[in-house]
């Protein structure tokens, strides 16, 4: 009788362990991988003497095999290695599984704060800027923001 009880206990513990492993692997499969976030468009919308308004268009690529319901995008934008703009966007967007999408936001900043000297002003005249964005993406039903960082060059577009 003891042997039967031990066998039942052994099989019960084994099946419980397998069930936990299956549940954990299913849960981890739904934990999102951080999407790739880059700046695709940087437009000057309004120009003033001390402040300019820019429209930023972020490209978001979802590496996950399931849709990514983005609720927030928080970012810090650096231009020519200097802090340029900081912002947050609460525009909800659904990025399809293994797909991509865009989020647009307007920010105000002063380009004179990041451009010093003739060399950098000439760089601006060519309309190509070095940039780096650092931030995080908030995904609904996932309590931890997903951090991202990306750097590249982009053309400053002038809106007519």
* DSSP letters for the chain: -HHHHHHHHHHHHHHHHHHHHHHHHHHHHHSPPPPEEEEEEEEEEEE-SS-EEEEEEEEEE--SSS-EEEEEEEEEEEETTEEEEEEEE---EEEPTT-EEEEEEEEEE-GGGT--HHHHHHHHHTTEEEEEEEEEEEETT--S-EEEEEEEEEEEEEP-
Instruction: Enumerate the domain spans of the chain.
Output: 1-30, 33-158
- Which pLDDT score, from 0 to 100, does residue 36 have? 95
pLDDT at 123 over 60: no
| Residue 46 pLDDT level (bands cut at 50, 70, 90) | confident
- For residues 109-136, give the mean pLDDT: 68
- Which pLDDT score, from 0 to 100, does residue 121 have? 47
Q: What is the mean pLDDT of the chain?
A: 78
- Is CATH 2.60.40.1820 what the domain over 33-158 is classified as, yes or no? yes
- Which pLDDT score, from 0 to 100, does residue 9 have? 59
- Which pLDDT score, from 0 to 100, does residue 71 have? 93
- Which pLDDT score, from 0 to 100, does residue 127 have? 65
pLDDT at 13 over 60: no
**Residue scoring higher pLDDT (93 or 21):** 93
**pLDDT tens for each residue of 48-58:** 777 888 899 99
Confirm whether pTM is higher than 0.75: no
């Amino acid at each position: 009788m003891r042997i039967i009880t031990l066998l039942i206990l052994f099989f019960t513990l084994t099946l419980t362990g397998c069930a936990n492993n299956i549940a954990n692997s299913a849960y981890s499969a739904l934990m999102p991988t951080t999407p790739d976030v880059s700046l695709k468009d940087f437009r000057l919308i309004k120009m003033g003497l001390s402040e300019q308004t820019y429209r930023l268009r972020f490209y978001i690529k979802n590496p996950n095999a399931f849709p990514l319901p983005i609720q927030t995008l928080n970012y810090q934008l650096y231009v020519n290695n200097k802090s340029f703009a900081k912002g947050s966007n609460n525009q909800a967007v659904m990025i399809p599984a293994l797909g991509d999408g865009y989020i647009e936001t307007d920010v105000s900043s002063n380009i004179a704060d990041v451009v010093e000297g003739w060399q950098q002003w000439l760089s601006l005249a060519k309309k190509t800027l070095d940039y780096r964005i650092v931030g995080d993406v908030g995904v609904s039903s996932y309590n931890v923001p997903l951090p991202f960082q990306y750097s590249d060059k982009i053309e400053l577009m002038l809106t007519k």
